[in-house]
Amino acid sequence: MHPTKKIYGGKIDWISVSIWTALCVIGWFNIRAAVFDPEHASLISLSTNYGKQFLYILVCILVASAILIIDGKFYNYISPILYGITLILLIVVLVIGRNVGGNQAWISIGTFRLQPSEFAKLGSCLLLARYLSSHSNKMPNLKTLLLGIFILLVPVVLIMLQPDTGSALTFFSLVFVFYREGYVAGQFLVFAFLCILLFIFTLLFSQWYIIGTLAILCALGTYLFRRSRKAISSAVLFFIVTSSFVLSVDFAYNHILQSHQRNRIDVILGKINDPRGQGYNLNQSKIAIGSGQLFGKGYLQGTQTKYNFVPEQSTDFIFCTVGEEWGFVGSMVVVLLYVALLLRTIQLAERQRSAFARIYGYGVASIFFFHFFINIGMTIGIVPVIGIPLPFLSYGGSSLLSFTMLLFILIKFDANRKGVV
Amino acid sequence: MNNSFFERKYVVQGIFIAAAFLLACRLFYLQLIDDSYLLSANQNVLRKITIYPARGVILDRHGKILVQNEPVYDLMVTPREVKPFDTLALCQLIGIDKEGFDKRFQKATNYSPYRASIFEKQLSAQTYARLQEKLFQFRGFYVQNRTVRSYPDSIAAQFLGYINEVTERDIERSKHFYSPGDYIGVSGVERAYEKLLRGQRGVQNLMVDAFNRPKGHFMDGKYDTLAVAGDGLVSSLDLDLQKLAEKFMKNKRGAVVAIEPSSGEILAFASTPSYDPNMMVGRERGNNYMKLLNDPNKPMFIRPIQAQYPPGSVFKVVSALVAQQAGMIDEHTRYHCPGGYSYGGGRGFMRCTHVHGTIDLADAIKGSCNTYFGSVYAKMLDQRKMKSSEAYVQWREAVMKFGINQQLGVDLPNEKPGFLPTADFYTKRYGNDRWTSAYNISNSIGQGEVEITTLQMANIMAIVANRGYYYRPHLIKSIGERKVIKKEFVEKIPVGVEQKYFEPVIEGMSRVVRYNANIRIPDVEMCGKTGTAQNPHGKNHSVFFAFAPRVNPKIAIAVFVENVGYGATYAAPIASMMVEQYLKDTISMSKAVQDRVLYESNLIEPEPQEKESVSAKTKTNNQASTAKSQREKTASNQTALLIDRWPDTNKQLQVHSSR
């Protein structure tokens, strides 16, 4: 047997590993650019973010290696315990956590900080995969779906208590898992998409206009499909459902959302034009990225980056550095790398024989997709500012480690796919 | 195992790809199509430097500098760019303490953390030199060049005025033409000619790096503009004559105005007590201003045009001319002076200084006979086949043509018009219009309600010198490179008295000078008139006006010295010496007189006591007062104060009484 096969139990997918390496390296270089201070330019200095990130990368290499060596079945067994641990950590952080930026999301251990919500994604993903896979021989039914949702709901609620809305929203991306496994129909995705549209329109225009438009649409539909017996009743049902949704959107917006969340939504919808105050992050981000043009300003030459105009430059807004210093070319390279990673992940998931591995794989892809799309979308102004990291690029030990673990566990399953997990 | 939904992978992948495509499109738009972000990025690193223009320089008529510009340096700070540094070192370099530093820094931060604002104004050149080499240690600070006014000879403070930084009100009133930090003229010529002197701001767009070091011009200076210096002004003042006037008037209160009759150009314009205009410049400005403002002698008051005095005997010149023109008298008209003029059926008696006997017009001028002029005035009002009050109206109109009771239109702000009451004024006062000359006979000798400014007095002399007309007196001879003159100043203004009537008056005035050793000038025929304006609450004011030479006159002058006694004592010698200096470039006045003028009057510590009657009179002078500033109010209070001094110079009065 091939020596690596003996150790790892199969062939490692080097494509994924290469993409992972590329992203980590790009991330390191950009974090360095984001915090670069010519006075303290030493490469390996633990006082700087890029120094620390280097350390985290080393740790991840160790952990990744360990994951690849440990038997794949381990993860199936460990998933409930892991899930439980993450829940406990989520509770602990509410009690003794450090308050950073309004969120009580961090537990301090010495000079390092641990973010339980990142690991909760991993734990939930594994447990959900285990649960759904145990029912995979049956037809998808509502009870399983609800329990699956419940598995996700618990960490979501706990995370919302921090409150960290961004991380909590991540879990919604797992709808792709349910979709792929048949628990949710394709129409549901369409429906969700329409809801989002309706949400946006309700906020842009007065809710009564929307309801009025809906009424007209329903009347139109009834007329067009008047031959059908169910036309009127389904049209009326449609109208009631959508109108209630519209009203609830308004209610939720005004009474449930916090003011800073409202402001961020208003900024992205263009209802607020306040580049110095509310819209500052977004404006500076767009300026940084937009000024990169085709080839960017060059490494360490980004003026916006250098002068720290963009807040959260090395974490949530790391993409700005890419955009400013590497231009459209560099931005597209990064985007394509992520797309490659996503597609490869799906591909890996699809070629698994075990349902557990496949479901898990889709979970990984969903989570990566959500972070990728929302984070970059936020920096370029098509999504409201939601504070979540860009996987492997953003500075942060907890997120780097949890994303690495997410990926490499899948790679391990894939290496073992010829066997049984 | 159960992969029955495996086709859905295409949907999922499709969604992923579509989302990525959406991101790519947006990136394409932001980075390649929309230019505005590039500009905004540049704006973040752009530093706009205002290039302040040099303010117009003001020269005297011979090209000597009256006021020029000196460079100073404003220290600017951009709080957000400040990195930690040795604050104590900076404080020591610019001469402030830690508290002052904190206050200033807080102020700058409150204004804007991202924008530069002034940290410390007007550092001297020496401070700047010391600071310059250490400036790199203080990240976030930089220096902006400014200029301030500098007065090499420290004269003509009131004429030149001073400048200040614009206030909120100035900015609003100019409809935001001015920006904070601009200078604006506040008084004097600086204010009157502000629009010409101020020039035009320029702007430099510099790119700065992370250390705030300029790295070149944005777009190679495409959007930069040059500053345009303000127009220079050539004033009509003669620097040497002005210096002489201020020297002779030092330690006295009063005014001197000298005009060139053939053009209306003002050769000297002194207001004392005065101050060094350099006091209103620089970091001590504020303190100095408070000192000047609180000085009871009000040095910022522009006496030549704002102090309204009773003219005294010099007014007789106007009387004589107006009466001749009206045909009421001629050069041969004689009156008998027994030592005074009695009127009102013997109930009133206006004393004369001497018993003149029977004299004609020229002698009456020479002797300054109150009797003669009282009689002339009575004739002007009471013997003209109409009511006296109506005759008064005509008399008043004729007198006003000499520039009395109106603004002459000199090119300085806040000129006062003087006061010559209307007929209605007296009608109101006496309850009916049947009053006669007896009711205001004092007007005949320039006392009573008549008030004129020193400028008007000098102008009257110019009129006499020209034998019947004048040019509007002005202080700026020409403007800018092209030597433009404002057209209202080249207009010849006749006063409605024929030339022939001037001769007897001029002859009388020539005699005044000829027979007085302390006034006459060797080899020059100067014609003048003394006056002693009565001051019921203190010493009289010393007044003298004249022009010279009699033929082809070159200078007309008026000197008014408050509270020093007879006109011949102080005002006349001062005028004489100035005229001689101007015409012959030498002074031959006896040393005794020079010493007296220079050293023997010192009225710097008055005790102002406002007596009710005089203040009331001043308050009713509400005709033709157009300016509404606070200084206006100060000026009119001043007029009341002026007449009410009680100087302690009785000694001198006895020594120098009869001249």
Best to test chain A binding among B5, B29, B30 (most A CBs inside 10 Å): B30
Collect all residues of chain B within an 8 Å Cβ-Cβ radius of residue A332.
24, 27
Task: Write the DSSP symbol of residue B474.
Answer: B
**In whole angstroms, what is the distance from residue A302 CA to residue B76 CA?**
26
Over range A178-202, report the average pLDDT: 83
What stretch of H or E contains B505? helix B502-514
Question: Above 80 in pLDDT, residue A161?
Answer: yes
How is residue B354 written in tokens? 């001497």
Closest CA to B277 of B303, B259, B299, B295: B299
Nearest to A158 by CA among A123, A113, A110: A123
In this prediction, residue A39 carries a pLDDT of 58
Say what the pLDDT of residue A211 is.
80
pLDDT tens digit string along A144-159?
Answer: 888 888 989 999 998 8
Which residues are within 8 A (CB) of B414 and not within 5 positions of it... i.e. 6 or more apart?
B302, B305, B306, B627, B629, B631, B632, B635
Determine the distance in angstroms separating the CA of A332 from the nearest CA of chain B, rounded to an integer: 7
- Residue ranges of chain B whose pLDDT lies below 50: 1-2, 210, 605-659
Query: CB distance from A369 to chain B under 8 Å?
Result: yes
Q: Which helix (H) or strand (E) holds A223?
A: helix A207-224
Chain A residues with CB-CB distance to B20 below 8 A: 335-336, 338-339, 373
Cβ partners under 8 Å of residue B189, min gap 6: B58, B159, B160, B161, B233, B235, B411, B412, B475, B476
Which pLDDT score is estimated for B349? 85
Task: Please give, rounded to a whole number of angstroms, the shortest distance from the CA of A223 to a CA of chain B.
Answer: 33
Give A37's pLDDT tier (boundaries 50, 70, 90). low
Residues of A328-339 as b/e, b for ≥16 C-beta within 10 angstroms?
bebbbebbebbb
The answer to whether B59 and B89 have CB atoms below 8 angstroms apart is no
Q: Could you tell me if B11 lies within 8 Å of chain A, comparing CB atoms?
A: yes
pLDDT tens digits, one per residue of A101-128: 667 777 777 777 788 888 999 999 999 9
Which A residues 244-273 touch B at CB under 8 Å?
none
The reported pLDDT for the residue numbered A9 is 62
Mean pLDDT of chain A: 83
What pLDDT score was predicted for residue B109? 86
If contacts are CB pairs under 8 Å, which of residues 272-331 in chain A contact chain B?
Answer: 283, 286-294, 303-304, 306-307, 309, 323-324, 327-328, 331
pLDDT tens-place string over residues A40-87: 666 666 777 888 888 899 999 999 999 988 888 888 888 888 899 989
Three-state DSSP class for residue B545: strand
How many beta carbons lie within 10 A of that of residue B397, not counting itself? 12
Tokens of B546: 């004249």
Sort B656 into a burial class: Cβ within 10 Å, 0-12 / 13-18 / 19+. Answer: middle
In A165-224, the residues whose Cβ lies within 8 Å of chain B are 176, 179-182, 186, 189
Cβ contact (<8 Å) for A290 and B26?
no
Residue B227: its pLDDT value, please?
A: 87
CA distance A56 to B28: 33
The C-alpha angle B376, B380, B385, rounded to 5 degrees, equals 140
Pairing mode, strands B183-185 and B163-165: antiparallel
Q: Which of A303, A328, A355 sits opposite B2 (nearest CB)?
A: A355
Structure tokens at A408: 């490499």
CA–CA min distance B41, chain A (Å): 6
Sign of the four-CA dihedral B120, B121, B127, B131: positive
pLDDT class for A4, splitting at 50, 70, 90?
A: low
Q: Provide the whole-model pTM.
A: 0.58
User: Would you state the pLDDT for residue B624?
Assistant: 32
Residue B264 one-letter amino acid: G
Bridge partner list, B214? B208
CA distance to partner chain A, nearest, from residue B86 (Å) = 18
pLDDT of residue B607: 42
Kind plus residue range of the DSSP H or E element containing A374: helix A355-380
DSSP state of B419: B
Does the CA dihedral B14-B17-B22-B28 come out positive or negative? negative
Q: Does B28 touch chain A (CB under 8 A)?
A: yes
pLDDT at A338 exceeding the cut of 90: yes
Sign of CA dihedral A13, A19, A22, A28: negative
Of the candidates B461, B449, B584, B583, the residue with the CA atom closest to the CA atom of residue B529: B461
Contact present, B245 and B557 (Cβ < 8 Å): no
Select from A144, A291, A333, A342 the residue whose CB has the most chain B CBs within 10 Å, as the one to mutate to test that interface.
Answer: A291
**Is residue B395 within 8 Å of B436, Cβ to Cβ?**
no
Smallest Cα–Cα separation from B377: which of B308, B451, B315, B465? B315
Kindly state whether B6 is in contact with chain A, defined as any CB-CB distance less than 8 angstroms.
Answer: yes
- Among A189, A306, A335, whose Cβ lies nearest the Cβ of B20? A335
**Closest C-alpha to B184, from B175, B172, B197, B173:** B197
3-state secondary structure of B476: strand
CA B255 → CA B109, B614, B644, distances in Å?
49, 21, 18
Give the model's pLDDT for residue A5.
56
What is B216-257 written as a DSSP string? EEGGGGTT-B--BPPPPEEES--HHHHHHHHHHTTTS-EEEE
Residue B18 contacts A, CB cutoff 8 Å: no
Does the pLDDT of residue A190 top 60, yes or no? Answer: yes
Coil/strand/helix, residue B59: strand
- Nearest CB to A335 within list B4, B23, B38: B23
CA distances (Å), origin A357, targets A20, A68, A184, A354, B510: 20, 15, 19, 5, 126
Shortest distance between the Cα of B83 and any Cα of chain A, in A, equals 12
H helix intervals, B295-407:
303-306, 315-325, 361-367, 370-382, 388-400
